[in-house]
Structure 1
Amino acid sequence: MADWIREPLHDGWAQALRADEMLYDSATDHQRLRVFSNPRFGRVLTLDDVVQTTEGDNFIYHEMMTHVPILAHGAARQVCIVGGGDGGMAREVLKHRRVEKVTMVEIDAAVVDFSKRYLPMLSKGAFDDPRLELVIADGAGFMRDTAGGFDVIIVDSTDPAGPGEVLFSDTFYGHAKRALSPGGILVTQNGVPFMQGAELTNTMRAFKPLFADATCYLATVPTYAGGPMAFGWGTDGDARTLPLAELAARFAASGLEPGYYTPEVHLAAFALPGYVRRLMP
């Protein structure tokens, strides 16, 4: 019989996914990494039973963290991804033909190797694209020492615990701001605000002194349970106020065929419900 993997991430709330076939189980005393197949979401990656990504719905997360800032910018040539070792973020960034170079900073080379073996459908050959430079390094240290010049920086981090915690610090955001080119855009993953409101509040508290335009936008990713997910947005430009007609023209010229993103969804994602607005300092 199939097992049910119960995710206990939030206090008072749990979701469960059926594991029809266990493809990998590290079963260590420290962190338990598992990959299993689910009839609705395909291959699922969990860390200590918390869903990290799935074959079925990862496109929502990756499209919204890439297409929103890149199309809003309009002339992005240099993009930096912090984290993203599964290759899904690089996959979507590299769909933009005008992007000349993607610098992906991943702290653990084993994550990349693991993802190539067990989750190749996420990267879809992104690691073989000559425009991608894979840097195995601590993201915080890289951002502190880089010469910068990035038009878009995407922070594809885990939740603020363990190695990912430093990527939610004021110091890291300050270094990221310095690494942006004029008019550049920084986007971050900030969890599900209904369940993890402090993540968004703390990031926005750091963004406000750094950026002329500091806010967040939302997308609903089914396996990130508990409501829509928030993505931090910081820039000194006016990219967020782009008219729909211009955004639609850029989208048409891009040749993208996304499963979730549309220009209308792009603009609507910045319309925040009251409970999210109240989390913004």
Structure 2
Amino acid sequence: MKIFREALTQGYGQTFSVNKMIFEHKTPHQHLVIFENERFARVMALDGIIQTTERDEFIYHEMLTHVPAFAHGNLQNALIIGGGDGGILRELVKHKTIQTITQVEIDQTVIDTCREYLPNHSHGAFDDPRLDLVIDDGMNFVSSTNRRFDLIISDCTDPVGPGEVLFSTSFYQACKDCLREGGIFVAQNGVPFFQPEELTQSSKKLQSLFTDSTFYGVAVPSYVGGIMTLAWATDNRSIRHITVDKLTMRFQESAIETHYYTPEVHLAAFSLPGYINRLISG
């Protein structure tokens, strides 16, 4: 049986049995593969690094979307950077207050491939009339657009190749400039047990720009190494300290069905282990 070996971290890696190779293609930006695995169902990798799996994607996508969405409480305009598999978009369209969703993805092939071979990720969300899909470099878009957003979600790859600029101070500054008053920026920020420098550097950059900047955690089985950190940044200090009662009210009124997210998990996610807090504080 063929084996897929991910080597994100020097000296350590994980392997997946490949029951069937579904798709393999070298796009203008990256090497994309989708294969079937008996434990995770269909798995997508870019440049040899696991990006998403059918079995556990709901954990990541729900937490990166619903934590800022329910904290804000009245999203009208949202921006997704990356997210070509459609999972973030699928969760965002569930929020009925949203009037427009702009998604900027650098690689059209990722979207087309995932719509065909990972259809449950987007679940038809690419056909939502509120969506404005832009094929462009995320950095180029945020540095040149006049649009303003209540929420920006950076669903990017790790800081190598096309994703490297999405961890830069200039990108964070441009995103801040695109936020409306009280808006929130969130982003995936790696697994700090294996990628501590990524967390420390992001923390320094975001703290220099935003009044309230921290991280919250989630454990996704296919992202090995324990807790993954998700960046949180806003100039509204109070929005992170919303009560569980208010979150529960918003969650119930939305009638959104989730498989991982709950108001209690929302608040608990900001309570991080000591080693992660020390990395955040530098």
Same fold by TM-score greater than 0.5: yes
Alignment of structure 1 residues 190-269 onto 2, 5 Å: 190-237=189-236, 238-269=238-269
Name the structure 2 match of 1:138. Answer: 137
Deviation at 1:148?
3.1
Deviates more, 1:46-55 or 1:73-82: 46-55
Deviation at 1:159?
0.5
Letter in 2 for 1:40: R
Name the structure 2 match of 1:271. Answer: 271
Q: CA offsets per residue over residues 7-39 of structure 1, 9 Å max, x none?
A: 1111222111111111112379x9542211111
Query: 2:175 matched to 1:176?
Result: yes
**How far apart in 2 are the matches of 1:44 and 1:176?**
30
- Secondary structure of the structure 2 residue equivalent to 1:37: strand
Query: 2:188 matched to 1:189?
Result: yes
**How far apart in 1 are the matches of 2:39 and 2:156?**
25
**How far apart in 2 are the matches of 1:203 and 1:142?**
20
Q: CA offsets per residue over residues 225-251 of structure 1, 9 Å max, x none?
A: 011110000001121100111011111
Deviates more, 1:110-119 or 1:234-243: 110-119
> Given that residues 19 and 38 in structure 1 are in contact (C-alpha distance below 8 angstroms), is that contact kept between their aligned partners in structure 2?
yes
- Secondary structure of the structure 1 residue equivalent to 2:230: strand
Q: TM-score if structure 1 supplies the norm length? A: 0.96
Superposed structure 1 runs of 4+ greater than 2 Å apart: 25-28, 30-33
**How far apart in 1 are the matches of 2:147 and 2:128?**
21
Name the structure 1 match of 2:20. Answer: 21
> Given that residues 46 and 52 in structure 1 are in contact (C-alpha distance below 8 angstroms), is that contact kept between their aligned partners in structure 2?
yes
**How far apart in 1 are the matches of 2:84 and 2:26?**
21
> Given that residues 81 and 105 in structure 1 are in contact (C-alpha distance below 8 angstroms), is that contact kept between their aligned partners in structure 2?
yes
- Secondary structure of the structure 2 residue equivalent to 1:253: helix
**How far apart in 1 are the matches of 2:102 and 2:23?**
29
**How far apart in 1 are the matches of 2:256 and 2:219?**
20
Q: CA offsets per residue over residues 149-183 of structure 1, 9 Å max, x none?
A: 20000001100111111111101100100100000
**How far apart in 1 are the matches of 2:267 and 2:87?**
23
Name the structure 2 match of 1:8. Answer: 7
Aligned residues: 280
Letter in 1 for 2:19: D
Deviation at 1:97?
1.0
Alignment of structure 1 residues 48-197 onto 2, 5 Å: 48-197=47-196
**How far apart in 2 are the matches of 1:21 and 1:5?**
11
- 1:22–1:256 Cα change, 3 Å: same
- Secondary structure of the structure 2 residue equivalent to 1:278: helix
- Secondary structure of the structure 1 residue equivalent to 2:279: coil
**How far apart in 1 are the matches of 2:76 and 2:26?**
42
Q: CA offsets per residue over residues 100-134 of structure 1, 9 Å max, x none?
A: 11100011212211111221111110110001110
**How far apart in 2 are the matches of 1:80 and 1:67?**
14
Q: Which stretches in structure 2 are left out of the alignment for 5+ residues?
A: none
**How far apart in 2 are the matches of 1:166 and 1:143?**
12
**How far apart in 2 are the matches of 1:90 and 1:149?**
18
Letter in 2 for 1:121: N
Deviation at 1:51?
0.7
Letter in 2 for 1:20: N
- 1:18–1:134 Cα change, 3 Å: same
Superposed CA RMSD: 1.5
